[in-house]
Amino acid sequence: MQPVETVYVETETVACDGGPNPALGHPRVFLTIEGHGSVDCPYCGRRYILKEGAKVGHGH
């Protein structure tokens, strides 16, 4: 299945609410990009890809 939209981001954690039109959106979810460098929203299928060279936090 192809993603609905691809968004390049600079942080490992992203929030997705389905887009700019609240009537067509979904509840806001926070997604974490791990290992393979991308994550898909389970509601709308939007794919978030970590930009090359983005700083990755290691948590303390």
Distances (CA, A) of 51 to 9, 25, 28, 33, 54: 6, 25, 22, 11, 6
Is residue 35 in some structural domain? yes
Cα(17)–Cα(46) distance, integer angstroms? 10
Q: Say if residues 47 and 6 touch (Cβ distance below 8 Å).
A: yes
Are residues 40 and 26 in contact, defined by beta-carbon separation less than 8 angstroms?
Answer: no
20 domain residue, yes or no: yes
Q: What is the number of structural domains in the chain?
A: 1
- Residue 12 has a pLDDT of 95
CATH number at residue 15: 2.60.260.40
Q: Is residue 55 part of a domain?
A: no
**Which pLDDT belongs to residue 4?**
79
**Per-residue model confidence (pLDDT) at position 48:** 97
Confidence of residue 59 (pLDDT cuts 50, 70, 90): low
Question: What confidence tens digit (pLDDT) does each residue in 28-48 have?
Answer: 999 999 988 999 999 999 999
Residue 16, in any domain of the structure: yes
Per the DSSP assignment, residues forming a β-bridge with 40 are 47
**5-23 confidence digits (pLDDT tens):** 999 999 999 999 987 776 7
pLDDT range class, residue 1, cuts 50, 70, 90: low
Whether 57 is in a domain gets the answer: no
The domain containing residue 24 runs over which residues? Answer: 6-50
In a domain, 59, yes or no: no
